[in-house]
Amino acid sequence: MCGICGIAFAVDGPSPSLEVLNAMCQEMAHRGPDGRGVHQEPGLGLGFQRLAIIGREDGQQPLGNEDGSLYLVCNGEIYNHLELRRQLTRQGHVFRTHSDVEIILHLYEEEGAGCLDRLRGMFAFALWDRRRRSLLLARDRLGIKPLYYMEIRPGRTGRLSRPGPETPAPAGLAFASEIKALLSLPEVQAVPDLRALHAYLTFRYGLGGRCVLRFQRHTRKRRSAWDHPGSAPASPAVADFFAGLRPCRGAAGRVLRVGPGPGRG
């Protein structure tokens, strides 16, 4: 597993503080002992704790595209990255690393947020589009990889940004793979959500997008990239069901054999 985190302000302005980004990363150091990467630019800061799996030599993040207009941090694996890499190469895209997650950058260049429909794997990522000044936060269909986020209220967390502690920060959004990284931010206010805690202790999963801690109310745009199709109109015979299951099992096995060894993700 790896750890991702970041801060994006709603307007062009100060960069998030390097001290704050490093503090967020440090809270997730156990998720990625193989390295740390940080990217800063006006209004944006991204952090990454790396566990090297695919692209061990050149897969450091945050990862940018050819012209630096997109930046990505991703925790997880893209199982069909070889197939997508071949398709994107034929379309003229140039890959600079052997990392499986680099395909997200190039697929986004082609399809925007629709790239999520093409990804097969377990992942949580943040993709910054400098031209649109937009931050896309996304994770896999079943939410295997964690992703938490909270609203930043304007002016109350001046130590988040440069150049100094007296500079008020604009409104924005902070995110991380673990809640601890968000709690490391200056002046964060969070209270327990007892209903969410009850659901987690009962089902080992947060229901309805709730979190065991309630941060400031968020107003960012959310959409579901996928939904369960529901039950089939008619139940197939047992023999037909297992016959249809065999090719799915074989395909799943092939796409899962993408890493150098056990313990991936």
Catalytic residues, by residue number, are: 2
| DSSP assignment letter at 13 | -
Quote the CA–CA distance of 77 and 3 in Å, as a whole number.
13
- DSSP characters for 53-101? -SSTTT--SSEE-TTSSEEEEEEEEETTHHHHHHHHHHTT----S--TT
Instruction: For residue 256, report the phi and psi dihedrals to the nearest 5 degrees.
Output: -80, -20
Sign of the C-alpha dihedral computed for residues 31, 32, 38 and 39 taken in this order: negative
CB-count burial class (<10 Å; 0-12, 13-18, 19+) for 132: exposed
Quote the CA–CA distance of 51 and 180 in Å, as a whole number.
19
Tokens for 37, please give them.
């990467």
